[in-house]
Amino acid sequence: MINFDEEIEKFQPSPDIEQAEDVIKNNDLTDITDILKELLKGKDKNEI
């Protein structure tokens, strides 16, 4: 049977995954939330 506590102690994250996480977190890409915010800003300005 698997001893999960023992397996977690042995676990070491892959350096490739950690490097990918850093790149993703530090990459300032426009996402759908940013696009929607800009559209709503434009809508508010047009209604005034």
User: Does residue 33 form part of some domain?
Assistant: yes
Domain-located, residue 31? yes
Alpha helices in the chain (DSSP H): 4-10, 15-26, 32-47
Using CA atoms, how far residue 45 sits from 2, 30, 36, 38, 48, in Å, is: 61, 21, 14, 11, 6
Amino acid at 24: I
Q: Is there a domain that residue 32 lies in? A: yes
Question: Does residue 2 form part of some domain?
Answer: no
Q: Tell me whether residue 29 is in a domain.
A: yes
pTM, 2 dp: 0.36
Q: What is the mean pLDDT of the chain?
A: 84
Check residue 47 and give its pLDDT. Answer: 58
- 5 lies in a domain? no
Maximum CA extent, the chain: 68
Range of the domain at 31: 14-47
The position carrying tokens 């939330």 is 33
Residue 24 forms part of a structural domain: yes
pLDDT > 90: what percent of the chain?
Answer: 27
How many independent structural domains does the chain possess?
1
